Structure 1
Amino acid sequence: MRLSKQERAIDTRRKVLIGALVLHRLENGDHASSSRPFLEWLQRELPKFLIREGDRELFDDLLKPHGQEQSPKDDNIAS
């Protein structure tokens, strides 16, 4: 089914607003209690949803556990 221009605009606006809610919740929520399960779900499900590398890079701050960011040279350490 092909959406009309107005339907596409409504669809895009809904996605932007839901995304804004998610980001607001993650930035302002109490991660130690109610937001923690949501963050864990997002970290589990988002990588499966994002298929483009550029899209994944947009969410590096959410997907990588805090304090475990890898630098490119970490991958090439010879033992």
Structure 2
Amino acid sequence: MNELERLLEKEKQIKAKIQAAKSRESEKQRKLETRRKILIGAMVLEGMKNSEEYESKIRQNLDKYLTKNKDRVLFGLPEIKEG
């Protein structure tokens, strides 16, 4: 194997390591984002249990935000008729 071939092989290995590191970082960020969503959701649900006014505001916002009927059903919102 000549020097060029060795360097090309080394480049290939480095690119694979870079891709693996990027994948690990991406997975780490996805997990952090999921944890943030869970914690915010728990806080909002707790607030909804403790305050009718807060619950009403959240439901109004959800009614505007949620467009998929399968999601709306989770919060007892009326289905959106398609068409």
Once residues 52 and 75 of structure 2 are traced to their aligned partners in structure 1, the CA distance between those partners, rounded to angstroms, is: 17
What TM-score, normalized by structure 2, do the two folds share?
A: 0.55
AA partner of residue 41 (structure 2): G
Once the two structures are aligned, what percentage of the paired residues are identical?
39
Residue equivalent to 1:20 = 42
Give 1 or 2 for the bigger CA radius of gyration. Answer: 2
What TM-score, normalized by structure 1, do the two folds share?
A: 0.58
Q: Deviations over 1:36-73 (max 9, x none)?
A: 3322211211011112110000010xx47xxxxxxxxx
Once residues 52 and 73 of structure 2 are traced to their aligned partners in structure 1, the CA distance between those partners, rounded to angstroms, is: 22
The runs of 5 or more residues in structure 1 that have no matched partner are: 30-34, 65-79
Once residues 46 and 55 of structure 2 are traced to their aligned partners in structure 1, the CA distance between those partners, rounded to angstroms, is: 12
From 39, 54, 59, the counterpart of 2:75: 59
The runs of 5 or more residues in structure 2 that have no matched partner are: 1-24, 79-83
Count matched residues: 54
Contact conserved, 2:48 with 2:55, CA < 8 A, in 1? Answer: yes
Runs of 4+ in 1 over 2 A off after TM superposition: none
> Could you say which structure has the higher helix fraction?
2
